[in-house]
Copies of this chain bind each other. A is one copy, B any other.
Amino acid sequence: MAIHPVEAIFHPRSIAVVGASGNPSSWGYGFLAPLLEFGYQGKIYPVNLKHPEVLGIKAYPSLGEIPDPVDYVISCIPASEILKMLEDCSPRGVKTVHLFTARFSETGHQQAAELEQEILREAKKRGIRLIGPNCMGLYYPREGISFSDALSKQSGTVGFISQSGQAAEELVRLAAPRGVYFSKVISYGNALDLNECDFLDYFSQDEKTNMILMYVEGIRNGQRFIDSLGQAASAKPVIILKGGRGESGGRAVASHTASLAGSQMIWEALITQAGALSAENLDELVDVAAAFSFLPPINGRKVGITGGGGGASVLAADQCEEAGLDVIPLPMEIREELRIRGITIWDWIGNPADMSIREDPNFCPGDMLEVMAKNKNFDFLMAIMYEPHHKRQQGMSADAYLEQYKLAGGCPKPLLAVAAEKGLGIEDFDHWSWKIMCEVRTKLLAAHIPFYPTIKRAAKAAKKLIDYYQQESSKPLSPL
């Protein structure tokens, strides 16, 4: 297969930051500092009119005065200076310009929209590809490229294509505590030149990317998008969050990335037909990514649930069923096994298993998980975990906590944990019960078990995963 042109864009041998600055609250600092901090190995050229050095690196008053070739330019200068900058790019052999620079068509001003088009013509003439304008560009931790000092340095296998820079940053930060890390992220803004389809095509053939997340406000070319999406979704899971679904969101889209939001119904149909999945907000995008990152294929909707008390069991059943899962009655073989083991509640306990009714304190949620895990009727399992909160539990270790669930060695069936999070006040900031739960979360991820803040979110994420694999398995085999 031919190497996709975007591959080179992600691997520049040198980067110039035009408008680089030593002022920490400036964007010129915001783009330069992470290159240093993330350890970008290529050459870095700050361009600053006034200072001969920025952040300890030799700076140049213009691109034209850099003595060496420059592959990639990050532009933080005003819109009015871009045409001049493109002129300076040619002698340096610049291949890609990332225009963080904004205030083009998204302002709704005709003049700004015209300047945007002029910049496109000028770049095309010079053989320069554009990312943006009005975007954050690349986050590629393996290569030491990042648009923010607040993102993880850890690499993963998830690709994210985001029309919004803010959404790109927020998603990466939401994902890290969930154990979800990224191969490459691109924020592409107004999509003047390179657009969602270019990146989708690239990510679908990128071997470092196992799953593609997208945040899209509008598309440039409907037919091409349908083709690219279908191709990508047949290669790996693609989960799309569409921004601008309603009237007010559509208005916000126009002033954000100058895109046409389009009809939500058409979008939904298009996503489904392509074999992609949709998400309704960033939280759900992370939830689904965590499911794909940590779980093997789940081939059916039948879930076994344990760990909650009475009300929680009832509400877990309701919410799983409402999400489209099948909360089957407890299989007879399990009752029989419990009876033989002398568990007094063998004919009373159900699925979800309300462990608060047990008489034998040694019969713990982990025992229930074990019998459910080896029963062929269940496609996957869910374990509800509450923070320890009674006085007598203080001093409990995270290991002792997890022993109740017998999860030290992971779980032989796909398992989603539900571990509540709470927006605490400063009084409870370092409370012991939440500290244990933080340790528990770290240990769950180490055992390859994703966690979710609520039953509802776990159920919805599981359902998306199942939808994906069921649709995969129903595809006709390709002819030999």
Q: Tell me whether A423 and B453 are in contact (CB under 8 A).
A: yes
Copies of this chain assembled into the complex: 2
Cα A460 to Cα B309 in complex, Å, equals: 27
Q: Tell me whether A310 and B164 are in contact (CB under 8 A).
A: yes
Q: Which of A231-239, A269-277, A427-435 contacts B (4 or more CB under 8 A)?
A: A427-435
**Min CB distance, A165 to chain B, in Å?**
7
Q: Tell me whether A438 and B454 are in contact (CB under 8 A).
A: no
**Min CB distance, A451 to chain B, in Å?**
6
Q: Mark A72-89, 1 if CB is under 8 A from B, else 0.
A: 000000000000000000
Q: Tell me whether B451 and A348 are in contact (CB under 8 A).
A: no
Q: Mark A135-168, 1 if CB is under 8 A from B, else 0.
A: 0000000000000111000000000001111111
Q: Tell me whether A423 and B166 are in contact (CB under 8 A).
A: no
Q: Tell me whether B454 and A425 are in contact (CB under 8 A).
A: no
Asked if A98 is at the interface (CB within 8 A of a chain B CB), the reply is no
Q: Tell me whether A255 and B348 are in contact (CB under 8 A).
A: yes
* 20 cross-chain CB contacts under 8 A: A107-B348, A150-B390, A165-B309, A167-B312, A170-B311, A170-B312, A170-B386, A241-B315, A244-B314, A245-B318, A248-B351, A249-B327, A255-B350, A280-B456, A398-B426, A421-B421, A421-B453, A423-B451, A425-B442, A426-B439
Q: Tell me whether B164 and A311 are in contact (CB under 8 A).
A: yes
List the B side residues contacting A241 at CB < 8 Å.
315
List the B side residues contacting A251 at CB < 8 Å.
317, 329, 350
Q: Tell me whether A246 and B148 are in contact (CB under 8 A).
A: no
Asked if A20 is at the interface (CB within 8 A of a chain B CB), the reply is no
Q: Which of A266-301 contact B (CB under 8 A)?
A: 280-283
Cα A329 to Cα B419 in complex, Å, equals: 39
Asked if A114 is at the interface (CB within 8 A of a chain B CB), the reply is no
Cα A315 to Cα B250 in complex, Å, equals: 10
Q: Tell me whether B421 and A314 are in contact (CB under 8 A).
A: no
Q: Tell me whether A164 and B309 are in contact (CB under 8 A).
A: yes
Asked if A46 is at the interface (CB within 8 A of a chain B CB), the reply is no
Cα A434 to Cα B456 in complex, Å, equals: 25
Q: Tell me whether A252 and B348 are in contact (CB under 8 A).
A: no
Q: Mark A91-117, 1 if CB is under 8 A from B, else 0.
A: 000000000001000111100000000
List the B side residues contacting A312 at CB < 8 Å.
166-167, 170
Cα A30 to Cα B215 in complex, Å, equals: 50
Q: Which of A62-70, A352-360, A462-470 contacts B (4 or more CB under 8 A)?
A: A352-360
Cα A25 to Cα B247 in complex, Å, equals: 56
List the B side residues contacting A430 at CB < 8 Å.
429-430
**Min CB distance, A443 to chain B, in Å?**
9
List the B side residues contacting A453 at CB < 8 Å.
421, 423
List the B side residues contacting A281 at CB < 8 Å.
315, 319, 454-456
Q: Tell me whether A253 and B314 are in contact (CB under 8 A).
A: yes
**Min CB distance, A138 to chain B, in Å?**
17
Number of interface residues of A (CB under 8 A): 101
List the B side residues contacting A445 at CB < 8 Å.
425
Q: Mark A376-398, 1 if CB is under 8 A from B, else 0.
A: 00000000001001111000001
Give the residue name and chain of the B residue nearest to A348 (CB). B107
Cα A445 to Cα B421 in complex, Å, equals: 19
Counting from the closest, the 7 A-B pairs by CB-CB distance are A166-B309, A164-B311, A167-B311, A248-B327, A246-B321, A249-B318, A425-B442
What would 16 more interface pairs be, CB under 8 Å, given A177-B428, A246-B321, A249-B321? A165-B310, A166-B309, A166-B356, A170-B309, A173-B389, A174-B420, A177-B422, A249-B315, A251-B329, A280-B318, A281-B319, A398-B426, A420-B423, A421-B453, A423-B441, A428-B438
List the B side residues contacting A424 at CB < 8 Å.
177, 421, 438, 441
Q: A164-B314, A281-B454, A318-B243 are in contact. Are A426 and B421 (CB under 8 A)?
A: no
Asked if A178 is at the interface (CB within 8 A of a chain B CB), the reply is yes
Residue of B252, B352, B423, B456 near A317 (CB, 8 A) is B252
Asked if A195 is at the interface (CB within 8 A of a chain B CB), the reply is no
Asked if A122 is at the interface (CB within 8 A of a chain B CB), the reply is no
Q: A174-B422, A311-B243, A428-B438 are in contact. Are A102 and B386 (CB under 8 A)?
A: no
Q: Tell me whether B248 and A308 are in contact (CB under 8 A).
A: no
List the B side residues contacting A422 at CB < 8 Å.
174, 177, 421
**Min CB distance, A382 to chain B, in Å?**
13
Asked if A257 is at the interface (CB within 8 A of a chain B CB), the reply is yes
Asked if A476 is at the interface (CB within 8 A of a chain B CB), the reply is no
List the B side residues contacting A427 at CB < 8 Å.
442
